[in-house]
Amino acid sequence: MSQIAKCIACGNDFEAKRIDAKLCSMKCRQSHSRRGDKDRIGENIPSTPVVSTTLNRWGEDVTTLGPQELYIRINLYPGVTWKTSPEYAELMKRLKEKSVEELKDQGYFIPTWKEARPSMNKEKE
C-alpha cells in the first residue's frame, strides 16, 4: 500500500512506494546526494512529523484510533520508520494540543517534556 510523503529535496508531495521513502525522483536523489546534506538518524528530524495523510498502511483513519491503539500501531513499524508514520504524527498532535490532565484521563503516557513544561499545557493560569 502506498502513501503520500513529502520529498526532502524539493518539498513536493509524492506517492511513496515504501514507508521510508524520502525522495520523489532520481533527479532529487542526485541533487540531494551532491549537496551532501543526507538525512542521518538523529539529525534533522522534525519535532512534528510531516505526514500528508491520516490513513495508515492498513487503511485505517488514525484520527479515530484510541491512545492504546496508536501505541500498538506505532510499535508495528520496523526500525525507525515509525517516526514518519501517520500514527506518530497523530499522537504528537494530541500530546501537544491536550493538557496533562486530559491526557491522563484518556489513558495516554505523559512524556517528561509535557510534564516538565507547564507552558506547553493547554490550560494556562
Q: Which pLDDT band, with edges at 50, 70 and 90, does 2 fall under?
A: low
Q: Distance between CA 110 and CA 104 in Å, rounded?
A: 7
Q: Do 85 and 125 belong to one domain?
A: yes
Strands, E assignment, the chain? 3-6, 13-16
Q: Which three cell numbers stand for residue 50?
A: 510531516
Task: Give domain status of residue 52, yes or no.
Answer: no
Determine the pLDDT at residue 121.
47
Task: Decide if 45 contacts 83 (C-beta within 8 A).
Answer: yes
- Strand residues in 7-57 grouped as ranges (E): 13-16
User: Does residue 17 fall inside a structural domain?
Assistant: yes
CA count, 13 A, side-chain hemisphere, 53 = 20
User: Domain of 76?
Assistant: 59-125
From CA 86, how far away is CA 90, in angstroms rounded? Answer: 6
Q: What is the pLDDT of residues 21-31, one digit of tens each?
A: 888 998 888 88
At 41-98, the pLDDT tens digits run 334 444 555 555 677 766 778 888 889 988 888 888 888 888 888 888 889 989 989 9
